[in-house]
C-alpha cells in the first residue's frame, strides 16, 4: 500500500473556458499525475462570478472530491441550499455563522481521511472573522479525525498569505492561495512540513486580464468606472499544484507547480 497521498489542487475556474477545460481535461490530469484526491476552487465558474448548481455537478462529475470558493460564492442565490446540504462544497470558514454553508469537510479516499479547509483573507477584501483564529479552531477540530489537512486560503495579499502559511506550519499539510488568478513562483515546503504557495493560479483563459477581455479591463483602469468584465472566449489553462503528502504524519514531501493548456 502506498505510503503517500497525491493531492491535485486547481485554482479558480473562470467562466465557460474554465468549465470546458475542467470538463475535458481534469480526468486526464488526474490520471497523468496519479492524483488520489482533487480540490478545485469554483467561485468564478458561473460566467466569471459565482457558482451555480450546474457548475457544481459538472466539477464533481469531472473528478473533484471537494470544491472550495471565496468572496464571489454569494453571487448566485440558487447555490445557497447546496452550500448547506452538500458536505464537500465549501465557502470560507471565517464568514459569519449566519451565512449559509460551512468551511471544512473530510472526505474518505481509499480508506484514508483527508480534510479540506477553506479560508478567506481580510486585506483588501470583506471584513470577515479572523482567518488565523478560525483556522486554529478548525484545525484543532479536524485533527481529531485526520492529520492530512489541505487549506485553500482565498486572499489578495501575499503578506497575509505567507503569515497564515507560517502560522499553520506543521499543523496542516498545505496552505495554498487562490483569488488573484496569477500563479506565483514561490512554492516550497516550509520547515515544519507544510507545503506553501502564495497563489496556485486560475483555470481560465490566459490571454486577457486575470481571465477577462483586455478592452474592458483597460477601460476600467483608465476610467475607474465599475464596467462589467467579460470573460475571454479562448481555451483555458489549468493551473494548480500537485502535493505529495506522507500518510502517517500528514506532512508534505513536495509541492509541484502545474500549468497545462487545455484544448
Ligand atoms: Fe475571489
Distance 43 CA to ligand 1 centre (A): 7
Largest pairwise CA distance in the chain: 59
Residue with cell 477577462: 212
237-246 vs 4-10, strand pairing mode: antiparallel
Distance 73 CA to ligand 1 centre (A): 8
Does the structural domain 4-261 have CATH classification 1.10.260.40? no
Query: 110 or 256: whose pLDDT is higher?
Result: 256
Cell of 88: 464537500
Mean pLDDT, the chain, whole residue set: 96
Distance 172 CA to ligand 1 centre (A): 22
For ion ligand 1, residues whose CB falls within 5 Å: 70-71, 179
Distance 129 CA to ligand 1 centre (A): 17
Closest CA to 49 of 210, 182, 184, 174: 210
Quote the CA–CA distance of 13 and 229 in Å, as a whole number.
15
Closest CA to 152 of 140, 167, 135: 135
Quick one: pLDDT at residue 110? 86
Neighbouring C-beta atoms of residue 13, cutoff 10 Å: 33
Is the pLDDT score of 129 beyond 70?
A: yes
Q: Rounding to the nearest 10 degrees, give the CA dihedral for residues 54, 56, 58, 64.
A: 180
Cα R_g (the chain), whole angstroms? 17
Quick one: pLDDT at residue 144? 98
User: How would residue 228 be classed by pLDDT, with cut points 50, 70 and 90?
Assistant: confident
Distance 10 CA to ligand 1 centre (A): 14
Quick one: pLDDT at residue 47? 87
User: How would residue 46 be classed by pLDDT, with cut points 50, 70 and 90?
Assistant: very high
- Chain segment 1-42, per-residue pLDDT in tens: 689 999 999 999 999 999 999 999 999 999 999 999 999 999
Q: What percent of the chain has pLDDT over 70?
A: 100
Distance 50 CA to ligand 1 centre (A): 9
252-261 vs 149-154, strand pairing mode: unpaired
Backbone angles phi, psi at 66, to 5 degrees: -150, 155
Is the pLDDT score of 140 beyond 90?
A: yes
Distance 137 CA to ligand 1 centre (A): 23
- Chain segment 197-216, per-residue pLDDT in tens: 999 999 999 999 999 999 99
Quick one: pLDDT at residue 1? 60
Quick one: pLDDT at residue 22? 98
Average confidence (pLDDT) over 50-72: 98
Helices 53-61/15-32 angle, 10° precision? 20
Distance 179 CA to ligand 1 centre (A): 4
Q: What percent of the chain has pLDDT over 90?
A: 97
Q: Which residues are identified as catalytic?
A: 72
Quick one: pLDDT at residue 229? 87
Neighbouring C-beta atoms of residue 30, cutoff 10 Å: 18
Burial level of 152, CB count in 10 A (0-12/13-18/19+)?
buried
Quick one: pLDDT at residue 2? 80
Amino acid at each position: 500500500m502506498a505510503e503517500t497521498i497525491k493531492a491535485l489542487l486547481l485554482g479558480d475556474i473562470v467562466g465557460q473556458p474554465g468549465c470546458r477545460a475542467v470538463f475535458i481535461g481534469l480526468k486526464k490530469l488526474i490520471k497523468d499525475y496519479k492524483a488520489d484526491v482533487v480540490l478545485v476552487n469554483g467561485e468564478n465558474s458561473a460566467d466569471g462570478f459565482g457558482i451555480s448548481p450546474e457548475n457544481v455537478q459538472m466539477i464533481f462529475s469531472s473528478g473533484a472530491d471537494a470544491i472550495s470558493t471565496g468572496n464571489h460564492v454569494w453571487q448566485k442565490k440558487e447555490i445557497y441550499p447546496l452550500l448547506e446540504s452538500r458536505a464537500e462544497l465549501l465557502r470560507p470558514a471565517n464568514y459569519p455563522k449566519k451565512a449559509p454553508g460551512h468551511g471544512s469537510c473530510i472526505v474518505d479516499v481509499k480508506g484514508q481521511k483527508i480534510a479540506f479547509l477553506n479560508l478567506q483573507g481580510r486585506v483588501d477584501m470583506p471584513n470577515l472573522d479572523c482567518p488565523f483564529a478560525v483556522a486554529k479552531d478548525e484545525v484543532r477540530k479536524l485533527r481529531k479525525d485526520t492529520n492530512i489537512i489541505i487549506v485553500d486560503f482565498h486572499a489578495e495579499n501575499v503578506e497575509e498569505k505567507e503569515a497564515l502559511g507560517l502560522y499553520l506550519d506543521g499543523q496542516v499539510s498545505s496552505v495554498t492561495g487562490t483569488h488573484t488568478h496569477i500563479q506565483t513562483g514561490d512554492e516550497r515546503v516550509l520547515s515544519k512540513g507544510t507545503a506553501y504557495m502564495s497563489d496556485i493560479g486560475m483555470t481560465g483563459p490566459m490571454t486577457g486580464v486575470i481571465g477577462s477581455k483586455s478592452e474592458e479591463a483597460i477601460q476600467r483602469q483608465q476610467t475607474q468606472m465599475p464596467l462589467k468584465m467579460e470573460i475571454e472566449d479562448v481555451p483555458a489553462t489549468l493551473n494548480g499544484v500537485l502535493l505529495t503528502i506522507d500518510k502517517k504524519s500528514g506532512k508534505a514531501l513536495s509541492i509541484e507547480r502545474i500549468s497545462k493548456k487545455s484544448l
